[in-house]
Structure formats: C-alpha cells, structure tokens
C-alpha cells in the first residue's frame, strides 16, 4: 500500500490567490465575478486589513469595505495592512492589535501570512523587524521594537508564511527531487562545490534549493523562537509577469500540461488588481486572462489538476507528510505535525482526501484508520479502481 501524491484521479494541484496591491473595489468586483462567481473556482483569497497607501487611494481592505469584499473566503493576510506608501501613517504594534480585532470581528481565520513590499513590519522579505521584540544598537542599548507583531500573528493562527521568493520552475519541485534530470544533477554538483567562490566573486547571494531543508513541495520549517514555528512556502512566477496581464504568459496549456506531466503544484499569488501600464485593453480582465481562468476550470473538470485554496493545499502537504501506513496491521494513522496541528481531530481533516495504491491482498473491510491515536469516525473509503482507494474525511 502506497500513498499517492494527490487525491485520485488528480495528477497535479494548482491554487490561486490575489495579492491585493492595486485592487480597488471596482476591480475586486470584476475579479470576484469572473473567478468566484461565473467560473466558481474553489480558490480562497488574501486581504489587507487597512490601507494607508497614498499611491492607490481606494485600495480594498477589510476595515473600509467590510461585507462588500466578503463574497468569497480569505485564508491569507497581506501583513496587517498597507502602510508602505503613506505620507503620514506610521505602523506600530498597536495597529496590529487593532487589526486582530477587525479580523476576529468578521470571523476570518487566516492561516497564511504574506509579507508586503518593503513594509517595516515584514517577517521575512526585505525586513524581519516584525519578528523581533527588541533590538540592540551597536553600543549595546536595548530598545523595544514598535513594529514587532509576530506574537499576534502566531496567536491569531498564522502557521504558513511566504518565503520571500518567486520560483520559475513550473512544478515548484525543488531541484534535489529532480533526480531524473542528469543535467540538473551535474549542475548541482558543480554549483555545490563552486558556490562559495561564485558568491565571493560576484558578491551575490546565490540561493538554490539544496541550500535549505525544503520538502518535496518546497515547504520549510521556519523557527521564530519561543516555540513559534511555521512553514514557509514558495510562490510561482516572475516579478515581470506578476500582474493580471501576465497570467496568460505564465499559465497556459503548455504550462498546465507540464504541471500534470511532472505531478507538480502551483502556488500562484499574484497582483490580479494590477494591469500592465502599457496594456492596450480597456477592460480590467483581458480576453486572454479570462480564457486562462476558463482553461484552469477545464483541467479541474477533466480531473487532471486539483484546484483549492492555498490553505487546503498547504494543509494537505503537511498532513500527507505525517501519515503512517502499518501494513502488518492494516492500519493507517494520521498524526499531528506539531506545528500546524498540535492536536489532530476530524475537524482538521474535514474536506481532505488521500489516495493509496493497493495490492490485491488488502482487505478494505479490515482497514483501520486512526487520527492521533483515536479510531476515526469521520472517514469514508472509496474504492476507485481495483488498485486505488481513497480515504475521504467529512
């Protein structure tokens, strides 16, 4: 019995979320109607709690728009709000306290944090001041850090964080898992041994997958201290195409076919509210971009690519990594990973499915499913083919 990469019959998994930069209410409505309305794509979304951006007045945020932007679900916060291009508003810890109240007031339970631009309170990208309660100057004087807020994010439930990088590899599989590619292996070998020299010569920070402890899906444990650990994930795409007009360029038939062929994942978190400055179409969403969203739906309906929210895919990856198959006793055990799930219950597994390839000798009736040591009362077993079964949790 072997765990399959994705729930049967999907071969790959794709997820999309809008980085709210530049998203005005009018654009939000257009995106909502196309993605969540007409096409009913099962994605979740990201939001600003407040916006003080003087470059983009009217940028959608939970505090100003309230229920107007609650037509679809959110599992991601783009920090505590947009404080970057403000003439006179300076972010402090108190703003994060207020943001938590607003998030709770609207019943939103974010699991994912994405750093924003050069925000001083970021956790990873451009600044990690948001993670430091104190800082000490060169003379040894210690100061309380006004933009610290990691404590609040953690107690709010944030367990996933963007690692600050974009990855152009279509299936997002780290290089170390691309064993088949001899060229990649040869490159890796030389890279590993010459990296130090290259970095010194060109004074650049060369970052490659094998430098970090990435799992097969590019996730990595980030330890912020005081028992606060999260998983970082990587985003697909390029900065030049990180706007709505870049979508057809990076997501198209050839990309999706490659994603299926390689059995990969795609975390596409991009600026859907931002048009290319030189775009020559009046409407916010071009015909080509709409066609791309329709194409995504087709791959989903053809059962080739699974679509979901970011958090469902992230949870799936974490849960999948802690499944234990005990063949001798026909027992499958789901365990908490200790970071995202301190405990594990039916509620945590609800909506998830896991498929296994089986041999004839397995008796389905005798199959035992345990969740953190307790017998599961919330799963059903579906025999998909004589060789594949799926555990689905309600």
User: Which residues of this protein are in contact with Zn ion, per CB under 5 A?
Assistant: 19, 21, 116
In the complex, the smallest distance separating the C-beta of residue 21 from Zn ion, rounded to whole angstroms, is 4
Residue closer to Zn ion, measured from CB, 134 or 239? 239
Measure the CA–CA gap between 357 and 365, rounded to whole angstroms: 16
Could you tell me the smallest distance in angstroms from the CB atom of residue 116 to Zn ion? 4
Which helix H or strand E contains 354, and what residues bound it?
A: strand 353-357
| DSSP for 313-326, written as a single string | HHHHHHHHHTEEEE
At its nearest, how many Å lie between Zn ion and the CB of residue 286? 21
- Please say which residue, 116 or 379, places its beta carbon nearer to Zn ion: 116
Query: What pairing do the DSSP bridges indicate for beta strands 353-357 and 112-113?
Result: unpaired
- Say what the alpha-carbon torsion angle 284, 286, 289, 295 is, to the nearest 10 degrees: 120
Nearer to Zn ion, 8 or 116 (CB): 116
Closer CB to Zn ion, 11 or 116, in the complex: 116
Please state the closest distance from residue 77 (CB atom) to Zn ion, in A.
Answer: 11
Q: How many residues does the chain have?
A: 394
Nearer to Zn ion, 51 or 306 (CB): 51
Nearest approach, Cβ of 14 to Zn ion (angstroms)? 21
The alpha helices in the chain, defined as continuous H runs, are 25-31, 62-65, 93-105, 150-156, 182-202, 247-250, 253-262, 287-301, 310-321, 346-349
**Alpha carbons 129 and 122: distance in angstroms, whole number:** 6
DSSP code string of 367-385: -EEEETTEE-SSEEEEEEE
Paired tokens of 139: 């003379």
C-beta closer to Zn ion: residue 19 or 209: 19
Are 177 and 171 a contacting pair, CB within 8 Å?
Answer: no
Place of tokens 């979304």: 45
Q: Measured from the CB of residue 346, what is the shortest distance to Zn ion in angstroms? A: 36
**Cβ 271 to Zn ion, closest distance in Å?**
7
Q: In what order do the strands lie in the sheet with 229-236?
A: 45-47, 74-77, 112-113, 160-167, 229-236, 220-223
Torsion of CA 170, 195, 210, 230, to 10 degrees: -90
Smallest distance from Zn ion to CB 135, Å = 25
The distance in angstroms from the start CA to the end CA of the chain is 23
CB nearer Zn ion, residue 8 or residue 284: 284
Complex with Zn ion: residue 199 or 238, whichever CB lies closer: 238
Q: How far is the CB of 48 from Zn ion (least distance, A)?
A: 9
Q: Which is nearer to Zn ion, 96 or 371 (CB)?
A: 96
181 CB burial (10 A radius; 0-12, 13-18, 19+): exposed
């Amino acid at each position: 019995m072997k765990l399959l990469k994705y729930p049967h019959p999907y071969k790959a998994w794709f997820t999309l979320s809008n980085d709210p930069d530049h998203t005005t209410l009018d654009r939000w409505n257009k995106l909502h109607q196309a993605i969540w309305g007409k096409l009913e794509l099962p994605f979740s979304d990201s939001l600003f709690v407040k916006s003080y951006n003087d470059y983009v007045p009217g940028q959608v945020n939970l505090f100003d728009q309230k229920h107007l932007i609650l037509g679809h679900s959110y599992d991601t916060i783009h920090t505590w709000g947009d404080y970057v291009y403000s003439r006179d508003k300076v972010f402090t810890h108190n703003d994060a306290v207020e943001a938590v109240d607003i998030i709770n007031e609207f019943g939103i339970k974010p699991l994912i944090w994405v750093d924003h631009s050069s925000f001083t309170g970021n956790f990873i990208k451009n600044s990690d001041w948001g993670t430091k309660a104190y800082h000490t100057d060169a003379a040894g004087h210690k100061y309380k850090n006004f933009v610290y807020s990691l404590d609040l994010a953690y107690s709010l439930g944030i367990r996933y964080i963007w690692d600050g990088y974009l990855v152009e590899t279509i299936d997002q599989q780290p290089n170390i898992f691309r064993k088949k590619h001899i060229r990649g292996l040869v490159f890796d070998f030389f890279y590993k041994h010459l990296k130090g020299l290259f970095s010194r010569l060109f004074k650049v920070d060369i970052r490659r997958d094998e430098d970090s402890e990435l799992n097969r899906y590019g996730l990595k444990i980030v330890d912020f201290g005081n028992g606060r650990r999260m998983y970082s994930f990587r985003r697909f795409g390029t900065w030049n195409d990180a706007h709505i007009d870049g979508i057809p360029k990076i997501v198209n038939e050839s990309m999706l076919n490659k994603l299926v062929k390689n059995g990969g994942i795609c975390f596409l978190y991009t600026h859907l509210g931002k048009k290319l400055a030189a775009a020559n179409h009046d409407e916010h969403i071009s015909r080509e971009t709409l066609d791309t969203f329709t194409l995504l739906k087709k791959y989903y309906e053809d059962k080739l690519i699974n679509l979901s929210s970011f958090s469902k895919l992230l949870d799936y990856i974490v849960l999948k990594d802690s499944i234990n198959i005990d063949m001798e006793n026909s027992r499958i055990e789901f365990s908490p990973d200790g970071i995202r799930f301190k405990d594990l219950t039916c509620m945590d597994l609800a909506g998830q499915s896991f498929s296994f390839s089986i041999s004839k000798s397995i008796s389905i009736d005798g199959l035992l499913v345990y969740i953190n040591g307790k017998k599961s009362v919330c799963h059903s077993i579906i025999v998909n083919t004589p060789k594949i079964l799926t555990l689905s949790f309600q």
